[in-house]
Structure 1
Amino acid sequence: MKLILKKAHTCFYVAIVAFVYCLIWPFVYFCSRKPSLYGRINFFRKMWAYTSSLLAGFIYDINYEAPIDWSRTYIICPNHTSNLDITSANLLIKNNNYCFMGKEELLDGFVTKLFFKTIDIPVNRDSKMSSFRAFKKASERLQDGMSLVIFPEGKIADDYPPRLHEFKNGPFRLAIEFKIPIIPVTSLNTWQMLWDTGFKYGSKPGISHVFVHKPIETAHLTLDDADILREEVYSLMQQKFEQQ
């Protein structure tokens, strides 16, 4: 019975997400017609994320290790155990000048297609050509002053309960190449509210605790330091994740 109720809650949440998306879609579509209006897409995306989560009983307790100057450009690296990690990433960024890099399949999603055809960057990690194009576009966005959200694990793994998986090198090489700080983000218990999509184990209302680490500067690093930077970020997030 408990699992049935949790799966019913997931269906309720998905319905809310779809309903609120339909309400904001005309505004997002209008903004998607001009790259100069892409920042406003994120304004509506934040409204969508906050409203749909609140109506389903998902609350985000976002704690910052140190104040962050959001006038700067960052590469933001959250761990990934839940679709709610995308919502929390939208809410923790205090401006609208950012984009996501995500799997190519999101181009076919009902509520993700428009974003990944415009402001966000799709990537097929199994294709060298797709990865090259994606990171080239990411480079252009970063040089234009737009922050990039990228999940360094590359996917939500099949482990349950989840653990932190090995990070990809891409975000760390980008950060060093363009001298951009990295912000690690550790979602501590979001998976307990909704793991992955929620369709296997269901979901439940609750408070998701998210810890935003202080930015790690990269101006003094070279590309030879990418592995060291990756391991530093992994270690920070692993230590925090184990505190849950």
Structure 2
Amino acid sequence: MRDLLRFLGHRLYTTWSTFWFVMPFVVTYPAQWVLGRRPMWYRHLHTFNRSWSIISIRMWGMPVEVVRKNQLPPSQPCVYVANHSSYIDIPMLFKAIPGFLNIVGKSSLAKVPFWGPLFGRVYITVNRESALSRGRAIVHARNGLAQGRSVVIFPEGTISKKPGEEMMPFKDGAFQLAISAGVPIVPVSMPLNHRFLPDLDGELRVRYSPLRIVLHDPIPTHNMTLDDVEALKQRAFAIIASEFRPDAAGLPEPSPRPFWRSSKTEDSKKAPQQLSGSAPNTPQTLTNGNAELSLPNS
């Protein structure tokens, strides 16, 4: 009976969370479609996206901690670099970061029905397998910075395979952009998003979990050259990783199953996750390119 109640509770919370993610967009879609018709209105469309994110996160009902260290003046554009661990990363960034943001996302986002074309107009999409697409994205981001519009980039380029535990090696683009534009880099840590909504190859698995986002101290780039990209990248990597928590490393346990499911099947699904997790009281190693950063689990 306990397993059945847990299964039903999980399904109800997943349904509730999905409803409050979809409903605000559906209600406001006509207004968003109108605002997406002219570039001069994109700023207002971004306000809709921010409001949508705030409403959804609030209705999910879990505590959200937002830490902002030494915020920059609103008139100072910058490059935010954040770890990528979940499909709720973008809503969390929209909630926490003020101003009219420019966010770089994968080109497939623009193909999502209804929402995708709006995203593709207001923000920057990139096919990371195409050098031409990457170059075009950097040009658009540079133009936005020149107009006072901060940009958000996931320097890993994709969602980490071991979220909250290891980050993928950072790519150079965000750091080259900040140095060439002469704007600060702001590292952003989101150590718990994967606990709420992990990336599981299409499976929707929502978990009630506290969330946390930290906007770290800005890193000035004036007087830096492209020779400083590697050091800047390593510094941002270490700062973001400093907020990772050993107790939240890796993907959450499998979803509750109804009592009629075979325990043998359940055990076979748990085994790979147990093998990939970190053993208690052992250091985590976060790898960025050829460098390793060891973080003790304490």
TM above 0.5, yes or no, is yes
With 193-202 and 58-67 compared, the bigger mean Cα shift is at: 193-202
Structure with the greater alpha carbon radius of gyration: 2
Counterpart residue number, 2:81: 77
Q: 1:160 to 1:170 in 2, by over 3 A?
A: closer
Say if 2:183 is the partner of 1:157. Answer: no
Q: 1:160 to 1:135 in 2, by over 3 A?
A: closer
Say if 2:89 is the partner of 1:92. Answer: no
Taking every aligned residue pair, what percent have the same amino acid on both sides?
Answer: 26
Contact 2:82–2:187 (Cα < 8 Å) also in 1: yes
Q: State how far apart, in whole Å, the 1-side matches of 2:236 and 2:97 are.
A: 19
Counterpart residue number, 2:289: none
Q: 1:175 to 1:8 in 2, by over 3 A?
A: same
Q: State how far apart, in whole Å, the 2-side matches of 1:148 and 1:157 are.
A: 21
Say if 2:69 is the partner of 1:65. Answer: yes
Contact 1:7–1:198 (Cα < 8 Å) also in 2: no
Contact 1:79–1:152 (Cα < 8 Å) also in 2: yes
Question: Residue 122 of structure 1: SS of its match in structure 2?
Answer: strand
Counterpart residue number, 1:33: 37
Q: 1:172 to 1:241 in 2, by over 3 A?
A: same
Say if 2:246 is the partner of 1:239. Answer: no
TM-score normalised by length of structure 2: 0.75
Q: 1:10 to 1:157 in 2, by over 3 A?
A: farther
Paired AA for residue 51 in structure 1: I
Question: Residue 66 of structure 1: SS of its match in structure 2?
Answer: coil
Residue correspondences, number: 243
1:168-205 deviation line (CA, Å, top 9, x unaligned): 11100000000011111101222212213795472223
Counterpart residue number, 2:20: 16
Say if 2:113 is the partner of 1:114. Answer: no
Shift of 1:59: 3.9
Q: State how far apart, in whole Å, the 2-side matches of 1:111 and 1:196 are.
A: 22
Q: 1:188 to 1:158 in 2, by over 3 A?
A: closer
Contact 1:21–1:111 (Cα < 8 Å) also in 2: no
Q: 1:7 to 1:163 in 2, by over 3 A?
A: farther
